[in-house]
Amino acid sequence: MKDHVVIITGASSGLGAELAKLYAKSGYSLGLIARRESRLIELKKDLETAFGTTIMIGRCDVSNQDAVFNCIDGMISYFGRIDLLIANAGISLASPAYEANAQALTDTIQTNVLGAGYCAYAVIPTMIQQQSGHIAVISSLAGYRGLPEAGVYCASKSAVNILFESMRLDLKKFRIGVSIIRPGYIKSPITDRNEFYMPFLQDTDAGCKKIFNAIQRKQKIFAFPWPLAIIVRSLYFWPCWLFDLCFSGIKNKKKADLT
């Protein structure tokens, strides 16, 4: 994979940082994006030392359209091409509807939906010129139905699924692929904050290897781990009375209550 270029957003921690390691190990050149520059500088140093990779970092807030276009344009000019974008940057805020937290709604949609969309739109013209490229977005199993106290996160991932599914159809004729990755729980700073029980919680490295392999296979939709993916997909067909019976209030239970 020498001379192949991947841009990864949200690379300063969690899944993004682990994916950066996997792509560096595979010989890709890396463009790494996040807001915490000091974390990116540290990661760049570690990966260059370990794998001799070429890495460019960009401090950028993905919810800022101009900043995204400037940052990604700069990376594409530096590397001369772009083979893969992983739109991974995201936030997850508790959002019980009774708190009516409009700021959480705004921040989540701006980061998770608009941010991912801006990043994709910033690479599409170059990929069309190249007549090649691949775009992967890190969505979530939470995008199938509205889960308790997580409405804005679920809504954002649901929107991402639809946005990137249409993108896949539109870009096929330019030989550009799109992968929608829908993970269950993976250990990261996002899940470390959760106080509730997380079924099928996966280690960061194992979860990211699965993501890496799915993107390498250019899988269109990859929902995992499969037992949780089957359960969550089946929720889609549950009638509201059953769904409400099982899910209303579930999030208030702490880990200790359930183990």
Ligand X SMILES: NC(=O)c1ccc[n+]([C@@H]2O[C@H](COP(=O)([O-])OP(=O)(O)OC[C@H]3O[C@@H](n4cnc5c(N)ncnc54)[C@H](OP(=O)(O)O)[C@@H]3O)[C@@H](O)[C@H]2O)c1
Strand (E) or helix (H) holding 105 = helix 102-108
Can residue 35 be called a binding residue for ligand X (CB under 6 A)? yes
Can residue 89 be called a binding residue for ligand X (CB under 6 A)? yes
The minimum distance between CB 75 and ligand X, in angstroms, equals: 14
End-to-end CA distance of the chain, in Å?
A: 45
Can residue 34 be called a binding residue for ligand X (CB under 6 A)? yes
Q: Which stretch binds ligand X (CB under 6 A): 128-136, 182-190, 211-219, 231-239?
A: 182-190
Residue 176 pairs in a beta bridge with 133
Shorter beta-carbon distance to ligand X: residue 16 or 133: 16
- Strand 55-59 to strand 84-87: parallel, antiparallel, or no bridges (unpaired)? unpaired
Catalytic residue among 153, 185, 197, 236: 153
Between CA 256 and CA 56 the distance in angstroms is 43
Strand (E) or helix (H) holding 30 = strand 29-34
Between CA 117 and CA 62 the distance in angstroms is 9
The minimum distance between CB 208 and ligand X, in angstroms, equals: 9
Can residue 61 be called a binding residue for ligand X (CB under 6 A)? yes
Can residue 73 be called a binding residue for ligand X (CB under 6 A)? no
- 153 has catalytic annotation: yes
Can residue 67 be called a binding residue for ligand X (CB under 6 A)? no
Between CA 114 and CA 106 the distance in angstroms is 10
Shorter beta-carbon distance to ligand X: residue 31 or 183: 183
Shorter beta-carbon distance to ligand X: residue 171 or 190: 190
Structure-token pair, residue 46: 């570690």
Question: Which of 6, 8, 12, 143 touches ligand X (CB under 6 A)?
Answer: 12
Residues 184-243 that bind ligand X (CB under 6 A): 185-186, 188-191
Strand (E) or helix (H) holding 9 = strand 5-9
Using CB atoms within 10 A of its CB, is residue 184 exposed (0-12), middle (13-18) or buried (19+)?
A: buried
Interaction site with ligand X (CB under 6 A): 9-16, 34-36, 39, 61-63, 88-92, 111, 115, 138, 140, 183, 185-186, 188-191
Residues with catalytic annotation? 153
